Structure 1
Amino acid sequence: MSTRLRWPRLIIVTLVAALGLAGFLALGTWQVQRLHWKAALIERVDARVDAPAVPAPGPQDWPRITRESDEYRHVTLNGQFLNADEVQIYTPSDLGPSYWVMTPLRRDDGSVVMVNRGLVPERLKDPATRTAPAGDQQVTGLLRISEDEAWLFSRDSDPEARQWYRRDIGSITEALGLAPAAPYFVDAELVDADAWPLAGQTVVSFRNAHLSYALTWYGLALMVLGGYALFLRSEVRGEGAAD
């Protein structure tokens, strides 16, 4: 008894199975890499957030600041707020349409650091509805890196109109004519829960579902492999029975 396989059909199905298997395995491996990256990020952020506050980096340290080595560092600043240069950055929140209140702080050495003083609802967007901080101030919070991308579906920023939809520090300080200005900003920590802006809104918990994603992709790869094995078995048995 001879077995005559349908070679064109076999070649096409083999190619499709090989592409599917390679694709699912690649996606699964990518999710494993993301799993390790996210675990390292969570460990790094937890260590920095809980560490004692240290002076925020000065101009001599700015060129060496990176997201990997510095973001979420617990820092402290001293200086005076430049309240006339406050900007509000739109963001959706549990309060409804809301705004981050970003105010530059002039340090004793003359450098400027943008401080995210917290969140306000639409009704408190106008600085006239709030009491501005006056005199020497000490700010403690988390160092954040300038945002290159805004939240999903946000509009483009308009620096000339002083309207921003992401915390793009370089764009903000350039439009305000502030120099020398730090390339980062500081999320102020909560001091008074009854005061506006409402500080301490930094998200420091990160969802890590990459293991389940990896298992899903690897499971699909196994399904492709199993389906291909059944196809080969059917082909061989079908041709053998025909003979």
Structure 2
Amino acid sequence: MPAPSVCSPASRLIAPTIAAIIVFALLCSLGAWQWRRLHWKEALIAQVNGRIHDAPVAAPGPSDWPKLDLAAFDYTPVSVSGSFLNDREAYLYGSLSEPRGPVGGVGWWVFTPFRTDAGWIVYVNRGFVPDANRLPAKRLAGQIEGHVTVTGLLRRPERPSHWFGDGISRDDQWFAREPSLFARASGLPAAEVAPYSIDADATPNIGGLPQGGETTIIFPNNHLQYVVTWFGLAFALVAVFIAYARGVLRGRR
């Protein structure tokens, strides 16, 4: 009967070594990717913080919409003239924990379609109102009529959560800013509605509501934490593999 073959300790390390190298490379690549994301996010924050103080430009019209990079234009100061369609308001649920004005807490952002002098429509976030003042009847003094000029920050739309089905509200109470859905619910022609909205500046409204100029500029930036996590896991893997390899080479299980 032939004697059973005995694998050398070194040969037993071939497969674990290959696996460890692959996982180590993957963890390091994830760490490097997060490092690049960290620098991108810091540059974006600096760019936006500088941009919001620029002089406003004309809000992009229909001829610009097909090629408009909404991510690049987010938070750009713009202005537009026309009149509000106050009977078509939409309400975005939210909270204002650190208000610049006197009103804060849980409430609603009032989005009102604004027909421009050129005929197209853009939704304007006129500002924040407490829950008790959501309906126009509770803030009649602030329902602006006639020709006005609105200045504020261009904002890109948000994708509604899948938890809310098709995203269409039946009572004009919303959980994501998406002008196309606001327009569809209000029966406005989609082709005439801008793909972005405008957050109105702090120009006071009669009666104090809605309270404009409350745009919150927050960019979650946890990338440094992720960098430390991925590279930490990579070096922890190295330490564990070294301990394992030493055990194998010494003949232990």
Q: Which residue of 1 aligns with 2:182?
A: 172
Cα distance in 1 for residues equivalent to 2:113 and 2:182: 10
Q: Which residue of 1 aligns with 2:146?
A: 135
**159 and 207 in structure 1: CA distance in 2 versus 1, 3 angstrom threshold:** closer
For structure 1, which runs of at least 5 residues remain unmatched after alignment? none
Counterpart selection for 2:236 from 223, 237, 241:
223
For structure 2, which runs of at least 5 residues remain unmatched after alignment? 1-6, 98-103
**93 and 12 in structure 1: CA distance in 2 versus 1, 3 angstrom threshold:** farther
For the residue of structure 1 that corresponds to 2:123, the secondary structure is strand
Cα distance in 1 for residues equivalent to 2:234 and 2:176: 39
Deviation of the 1:29 alpha carbon: 1.9
Q: Which residue of 2 aligns with 1:197?
A: 210
**66 and 49 in structure 1: CA distance in 2 versus 1, 3 angstrom threshold:** same
Cα distance in 1 for residues equivalent to 2:96 and 2:151: 23
Listed one character per residue, the Cα deviations across residues 106-155 of structure 1 (whole Å, up to 9, x for unaligned) are: 111111110001111111111110121122212111001111135xx974
C-alpha contact 1:143 1:186 (8 A) present in aligned 2: yes
Counterpart selection for 2:88 from 85, 88, 97:
85
C-alpha contact 1:154 1:165 (8 A) present in aligned 2: no
Counterpart selection for 2:200 from 188, 197, 221:
188
C-alpha contact 1:59 1:182 (8 A) present in aligned 2: yes
- 1:112 counterpart letter in structure 2: I
Regions of 4+ moved over 3 Å: 10-16, 153-163
Q: Which residue of 1 aligns with 2:133?
A: 124
Q: TM-score, normalised by structure 1?
A: 0.85
Q: Establish whether residue 61 from structure 1 lines up as the match of residue 64 from structure 2.
A: yes
Number of residues paired by the alignment?
235
Q: Establish whether residue 108 from structure 1 lines up as the match of residue 117 from structure 2.
A: yes
For the residue of structure 2 that corresponds to 1:59, the secondary structure is coil
Deviation of the 1:192 alpha carbon: 3.1
- 1:59 counterpart letter in structure 2: P
Deviation of the 1:218 alpha carbon: 0.9
C-alpha contact 2:168 2:181 (8 A) present in aligned 1: no
Listed one character per residue, the Cα deviations across residues 40-61 of structure 1 (whole Å, up to 9, x for unaligned) are: 3213312321211111111211
